[in-house]
Amino acid sequence: MSRNAESTAFRSALEVIRAVEPRVADAIGAELTDQRESLKLIASENYASPATLLAMGNWFSDKYAEGTVGRRFYAGCQNVDTVEALAAEHARELFGAAHAYVQPHSGIDANLVAFWAVLADRVESPALKKAQVRQVNDLTEADWFALRRELGNQRMLGMSLDAGGHLTHGFRPNISGKMFDQRSYGTDPATGLIDYDRVAEAAREFKPLILVGGYSAYPRKVNFRILREIADSVGATFMVDMAHFAGLVAGKVLTGDFDPVPHAHIVTTTTHKSLRGPRGGMVLCQPELADQVDRGCPMVLGGPLPHVMAAKAVALAEARRPDFADYARRIVDNAQALAEGLLRRGAKLVTGGTDNHLVLIDVSGYGLTGRQAEQALLDSGIVTNRNSVPQDPNGAWYTSGIRIGTPALTTRGLGTAEMDQTAELIHTVLTQTTAGANADGTPSKAKYTLDPGLADKVARQATDLLATHPLYPGIDLA
């Protein structure tokens, strides 16, 4: 698409929106400005291409399309069939998967589809039938225990939240923690790395139905061949959530033992993050689970979103191009350069570095909580998110860590030299931020002090750093 065509498309769209609700048009324009000016280091965010963005704003949004390709509960879905089939085809080819299901609206939805696909062969129990007529939120812990027992006391073993796992891998506040009796495996306290022998020991003791691999804040490669062997040894289904690193798999940065698709029975992912597509989810699986996975709607999902599936097809087609593999390699190069820059300046990193797209800073070395560090960096034009570190004394709300990632800045074209400059800006802010106190004089986990002048200076430096790598250079809304 030419630059003039991109500008015309988005400018015209905003004019149409402005005629109905100008405040929405203003907010859309302001979001583009904010993203252009902010140093985006949130590991789970990226920038979708103009083609992907435009694929979501069309008449597919008006369609109901429950069911799957060729088997819809609504008539008139022939064009939805086309884009869903294209998205699934691109996904299979890109990842070397036997089957792809592209309907999930998010990563959580994709995980729920996977969980229920694994459970689908279980006989529906009287307790489950009774529960279906009640609101899920009304079920007590005893109710959930009874349901799990009726379903065979299903168990899940996944990475602990503070070690880098995800809420949907069986943690009690999430629906996955209600569906399964869950136990976690952590990391070695000395190295922060997965101890596969301990995972095997936990699996032998716990005997899970599902062993979950994958992470949202683990900065190293995972050996999926070993995890599959552990799953097989106890008769578990091996599921991998690759939402964070799907782009590195697609770009063939993670191959062999570190590519989950050949080893897992079922793989879930988001389509944004490092894959650089629209916000949404996807499930890849072995043939024996395909029929159950395709029942995701209506088993778990409501009507699929055809306009988002169209955008998934576009983004997955983009990821099959040769330049995407170069992009994926540069993500890792940049993450490692960012980690090295932080280490040289004295920062403490979980595992001492990174093999993938993310870096986890233990900010307790700066005398801060994750919440204090997150806000101080945001004041300075650097967008990050707080995150737990292993054995985190501050819990999941305040945390002791900051998670940063390089997919978005790599999309903008920044390289390793700019990563060192970024490390300097982060280190400057964190060293100049001090923890605050509550009104009674006790230490606060949220309040902090940072010279506004310094914050403004760093924000200007961040803007200057980004100026040489403009975001969406082909789009001019003026």
The pLDDT value given to residue 134: 45
The pLDDT value given to residue 154: 82
Query: Same domain, yes or no, for 226 and 342?
Result: no
Query: Same domain, yes or no, for 251 and 347?
Result: no
Q: Is pLDDT at 444 greater than 80 in this prediction? A: yes
The pLDDT value given to residue 122: 47
Residue 16 lies in a domain: no
Residue 134 lies in a domain: yes
The pLDDT value given to residue 204: 95
For the ranges 131-135, 179-183, 185-189, which has the lowest average pLDDT? 131-135
Residue 115 lies in a domain: yes
Query: Same domain, yes or no, for 293 and 354?
Result: no
Residue 236 lies in a domain: yes
Active site residue 273: yes
Query: Same domain, yes or no, for 256 and 330?
Result: no
Active site residue 241: yes
Distance CA 280, CA 284 (A): 14
Q: What is the 3-state secondary structure (H, E, C) of the chain?
A: CCHHHHHHHHHHHHHHHHHHCHHHHHHHHHHHHHHHHCEECCCCCCCCCHHHHHHCCCHHHHCCCCEECCEECCCCCHHHHHHHHHHHHHHHHHHCCCEEECCCCCHHHHHHHHHHHHHCCCCCCHHHHHHHCCCHHHCCHHHHHHHHHHCCCCEEEEECCCCCCCCCCCCCCCHHHHHCEEEEECECCCCCCECHHHHHHHHHHHCCCEEEEECCCCCCCCCHHHHHHHHHHCCCEEEEECCCCHHHHHCCCCCHHHCCCCCCCEEEEECCHHHCCCCCEEEEECHHHHHHHCCHHHHCCCCCCHHHHHHHHHHHHHHCCHHHHHHHHHHHHHHHHHHHHHHHCCCCEHHHCCCCCEEEEEHHHHCCCHHHHHHHHHHCCEECEEECCCCCCCHHHHCCEEEEECHHHHHCCCCHHHHHHHHHHHHHHHHHCEEEECCCCCEEEEEEECCHHHHHHHHHHHHHHHHCCCCCCCCCCC
Active-site option among 11, 45, 64, 229: 64
CATH for 332: 3.90.1150.10
260, 287, 319: which is the final residue of a domain? 319
Q: Is pLDDT at 139 greater than 90 in this prediction? A: no
Distance CA 398, CA 211 (A): 29
Query: Same domain, yes or no, for 195 and 280?
Result: yes
Predicted TM-score of the model (pTM): 0.89
Active-site option among 18, 45, 63, 66: 66
The fraction of the chain above a pLDDT of 90, given in percent, is: 76
Mean pLDDT computed over 270-274: 95
Mean pLDDT computed over 444-465: 95
Mean pLDDT computed over 181-188: 89
Query: Same domain, yes or no, for 281 and 178?
Result: yes
Residue 186 lies in a domain: yes
Query: Same domain, yes or no, for 252 and 346?
Result: no
Active site residue 472: no
Distance CA 3, CA 309 (A): 25
The pLDDT value given to residue 320: 97
Mean pLDDT computed over 374-385: 96
Active-site option among 155, 273, 403, 412: 273
Strands 401-405, 358-362: parallel, antiparallel or unpaired by DSSP? antiparallel
The pLDDT value given to residue 478: 80
Active site residue 66: yes
Residue 369 lies in a domain: yes
Q: Is pLDDT at 127 greater than 50 in this prediction? A: no
Domain count of the chain? 2
Active-site option among 36, 279, 403, 445: 279
Average confidence score pLDDT of the chain: 90
Mean pLDDT computed over 216-224: 95
Q: Is pLDDT at 121 greater than 90 in this prediction? A: no
257, 291, 319: which is the final residue of a domain? 319
CATH for 131: 3.40.640.10
Query: Same domain, yes or no, for 295 and 341?
Result: no
The pLDDT value given to residue 163: 75
The pLDDT value given to residue 142: 77
Active site residue 198: no
Q: Is pLDDT at 125 greater than 90 in this prediction? A: no
Query: Same domain, yes or no, for 301 and 359?
Result: no
The pLDDT value given to residue 178: 73
Residue 20 lies in a domain: no
Query: Same domain, yes or no, for 114 and 177?
Result: yes
Q: Is pLDDT at 136 greater than 80 in this prediction? A: no
Q: Which structural domain, as residue segments, surrounds residue 137?
A: 59-319
Active-site option among 270, 271, 422, 433: 270
Query: Same domain, yes or no, for 136 and 213?
Result: yes
Residue 53 lies in a domain: no
The pLDDT value given to residue 119: 80
Query: Same domain, yes or no, for 177 and 161?
Result: yes
264, 291, 319: which is the final residue of a domain? 319
The fraction of the chain above a pLDDT of 70, given in percent, is: 93
Mean pLDDT computed over 364-368: 95
Active-site option among 6, 150, 181, 241: 241
